[in-house]
Structure 1
Amino acid sequence: MMEEWQQWVTQNDGHQDEGGRLVFAGHQEELKAVQGGRPVFSPLTQFALLRARGEDTLSFLQGQLSSDLRELDGSRSQYSSYSNAKGRMQANFLAWKDGDDYFLMLSADIADAILKRLSLFVMRAKVKIERVDGQYLLAGFAGAGAAGRLAELGYAVPQSVHAVAGNEQGLVIALPAGTYLLVLPAESAAAAATSLAEGATRVGVEAWGAFDIAAGIAWITLPTQEQFVAQMANMELIGAVSFKKGCFPGQEIVARTQYLGKLKRRLFRASISAAASPGDVLYSPSVPDQTIGMVVNVVSVAAGQMELLVVVQVAAWEAGVYLKSLDGPQLSPLSLPYPLPDRI
C-alpha cells in the first residue's frame, strides 16, 4: 500500500482484523451503514489492478478472456473471466479501457499468479502487462446521495450501469450493485479519500463485499480457482461471457455447456447460522456420498449469521444443502436480483 495512503488509513482508525482484512469502526457497524443505504466509502484493498498496453493488446486479450473486449470504448466497463483449457475459471475481472490502455480489476490474492500466466502467452505480441494498483487507489462509494456527492466534489458521474466517466480527478464506474468504483491517481489518493469520507461511514473489505453478494456478483479467489466453468458462477448472466467472439482458453467447454449440455451447477445466494469460508464444501442428502458444491464468497451479517454465494448442483438445491457435512448447518435460500434461465 502507498505510504501516504497507509498513513491515511491509520489516521482514520483503519486496521487489520483477525482475518487480515481492513476494517474501520468495526464490521457490524459498517454493515449497518451498508444495509441501511447510508453513504459509505471503502478502500478496496481486496482487489488488484492489471494494466495491458501496446498495439497488440486488444487482439491478445480478446484471445484470452471470455468477454468481447471490442465493446470497450472508454465509456463502458464489463465483467470478464479467464479460464484454463478445461474451461475452469482461474480468475474473473472487471474490465475497462482508458485511452489506449486496458485495465483488469481482480482479487488481490491471485493477481500476481494471473499476471505471470497471462505474460507467458504474450510471446512476440506487442503487449506489456503489469500490476499497477500501487499507482492508483481503488475505492468504493455508495449510499443515499452518492451521485450528487461525487458531482459536488468535481467527479464525472456515470449515468447508467457499467458506464465509465472520467476527468483529471480519476475514473468513476457505475456498477450493478448500485455502487461506484473510483480509480484515483496515487498522488492524490489521500486527499481524495479525505473528501469522499467526509459525511460517509468508512467501511472495510467484508462490509463492502455485502454489495456484491446481494447483487449476485461472484469473485474468484485463491480457494476457488479452477473450480467452476464460467456459467456455474452465472458469469454469462452478468455479461462476462460472449458466445460470438471466437476462441479463448476453455471456449469449447464453455460453448458446449451453453448449447449442448444441461448445466448441472449454478450460483445461488444463501444464509447460514454458522461461520463459513470460500472453498468450504457443501453436501446434500440427495447425493449423500459426494460433495455437491462449494462456498464462493461470504459476508458476516450478524453474530453467528452469514450470507453466501455458493455454486451448487441445481438438483440438490431443492433437497437442502449443508455446510461441510450432512451433519453440518443447513443453508437457507435467498433470492438473486436476476433470474436464472429455465434451461439449467
Structure 2
Amino acid sequence: MPTPLCPAELLFIAGADAGSFAHSQFTSDVNSLATGRWQWSAWLDPQGRARHFFALLRPELSRMLVWLPLGNAQAMRAELGRFVMRSRVQLDAQSWTMHALDPGDSPPVLEANELLPREAGFMLRQPGPIERTMWLAPAAASAFDEDRLEHWRLDDVAAGLPWINEALAGQFVPQALDMERLDAIRFDKGCYPGQEIAARLHFRGGNKRHLRHIHIDGTAPASSTLVTGIDGQLLGHILYAANCRSAEGSNALAVLTDVAEENTGSLLVGDARARLHSGSMTS
C-alpha cells in the first residue's frame, strides 16, 4: 500500500490564461511545459529573492498545480491573487496528501518530468540517491508515517532540493538556492518579478551565498536555524534537515556565505558541531 507521509500543500491555477499568467510570474519556462509534465520553478519578490520554490505540474493545458512541500498554499494564493487583474485565471489552495510508493506497490517507470494520473491525483518521480516515486492524492490521510518521512527528507537533502518555509521566504536569491542546477530558472524568457536583479547576478556575478549539504553532530534542527562559526559569526541558515538512518547526527541543506568555506570543520548549528559534506548533490 502507498505510505502517507505528510499533507501536500497545493495551489491550483486554472482558466484560459493559466499558462500565460504562470509564465509571467514564475522563473521557469512555463510555455515549454507540456501537458502531462512537471518542472521545478519559483516565484520571486521584486528584489529578486525567492518567496516560494515548488514543483509546477501541468495535468491539463489550462490547469496547473503548484506543490509547496514546506510552503503555505493559502498565503501564496493571497499574494499571487493581487496580480491576477484581468487575467482569466482562478486560484484555489487545497491540502492533499503526499504518499511514497514502494516497489511492492508496482509503481510505473516514469520519465524524470512525467506526470501520471492516479485516482484523481498524480504520480511523479523525485530525484535522489535511490529511485523514488510519489503520489499526490486529494484524499486526506488519518495518520502519517513520520519515520518514513524522515527518510524521504534525507533523500531530498541529498538531491539538493531547496525547500524554503515561510520563515525564510524572501531571504535568498536564486543563485543562493542553486536553482539553475534544477533548471528552475530562465534568464532569457520574458519579464517576471525580480527577473532583472536575478539576471544581473547571473551575468555579472556578485552572489556570496550558496546552497550547501552539511552534516550535523546532533539531532535535526528546525528550518531557519542559524549556522555560525565557533567565533559566533553568522554564516547562514538551515533550510531543512533530517536525522540520519544508520549513523548518528543529521544531514541538512543550508544556505551559507563564502566565509563558511574557510570554516569547513568548525561550523556550529546551535550547540552542535557541523561540517560541509564532501559528496555532490544527486539531482
TM-score range, shorter chain: 0.7 to 0.9
Q: Which residue of 1 aligns with 2:235?
A: 292
Larger strand proportion of the pair: 2
Q: Which residue of 2 aligns with 1:150?
A: 106
| Among 48, 56, 59, the residue aligned to 1:87 | 48
* Residue 116 (structure 1) shift: 0.6
CA RMSD across the alignment: 2.9
* Residue 60 (structure 1) shift: 1.1
- Provide, for residues 78-136 of structure 1, a one-character-per-residue CA deviation record: whole Å limited to 9, x for no partner: 11111111111111111111122100000355222111100111122111110122xx4
| Among 85, 89, 103, the residue aligned to 1:123 | 85
Misfit runs of 4+, over 3 Å: 167-170, 201-205
* Residue 71 (structure 1) shift: 2.1
* Residue 62 (structure 1) shift: 1.0
How many percent of aligned residue pairs carry the same amino acid?
A: 26
- Tell me if 1:249 matches 2:218: no
Q: Which residue of 1 aligns with 2:210?
A: 266
* Residue 168 (structure 1) shift: 5.2
Measure, in 2, the Cα distance between the counterparts of 1:209 and 1:328.
20
1:65–1:308 Cα change, 3 Å: same
Q: Secondary structure at the match of 2:277?
A: strand
Q: Is the radius of gyration larger for structure 1 or structure 2?
A: 1
Give the residue type in structure 2 aligned to 1:293.
G
Measure, in 2, the Cα distance between the counterparts of 1:278 and 1:168.
33
Q: Which residue of 2 aligns with 1:180?
A: 133
| Among 156, 159, 169, the residue aligned to 1:215 | 159
Give the residue type in structure 2 aligned to 1:132.
Q
Measure, in 2, the Cα distance between the counterparts of 1:52 and 1:246.
20
Q: Which residue of 2 aligns with 1:52?
A: 13
- Does the 8 Å CA contact 1:270/1:308 hold for their aligned counterparts? yes
* Residue 204 (structure 1) shift: 4.4
Q: Secondary structure at the match of 2:57?
A: strand
- Provide, for residues 234-292 of structure 1, a one-character-per-residue CA deviation record: whole Å limited to 9, x for no partner: 1111111112222111111111111101432111111111242211222237xx67422
Aligned length: 277
Give the residue type in structure 2 aligned to 1:278.
S
Q: TM-score, normalised by structure 2?
A: 0.86
* Residue 54 (structure 1) shift: 0.8
- Does the 8 Å CA contact 2:2/2:99 hold for their aligned counterparts? no
Q: Secondary structure at the match of 2:135?
A: strand
Give the residue type in structure 2 aligned to 1:159.
L
- Does the 8 Å CA contact 1:52/1:130 hold for their aligned counterparts? yes
Q: Which residue of 2 aligns with 1:278?
A: 223
- Does the 8 Å CA contact 1:41/1:202 hold for their aligned counterparts? no
Deviates more, 1:49-58 or 1:310-319: 310-319
Measure, in 1, the Cα distance between the counterparts of 2:275 and 2:163.
20
Q: Mind listing any 5+ residue stretches in structure 2 that lack a counterpart?
A: none
* Residue 216 (structure 1) shift: 1.0
Q: TM-score, normalised by structure 1?
A: 0.72
Q: Which residue of 1 aligns with 2:173?
A: 229
- Provide, for residues 43-68 of structure 1, a one-character-per-residue CA deviation record: whole Å limited to 9, x for no partner: 332x3011100111111111111111
1:42–1:336 Cα change, 3 Å: farther
Q: Which residue of 1 aligns with 2:244?
A: 301
Measure, in 2, the Cα distance between the counterparts of 1:324 and 1:284.
9
Q: Secondary structure at the match of 1:44?
A: strand
- Does the 8 Å CA contact 2:167/2:224 hold for their aligned counterparts? yes
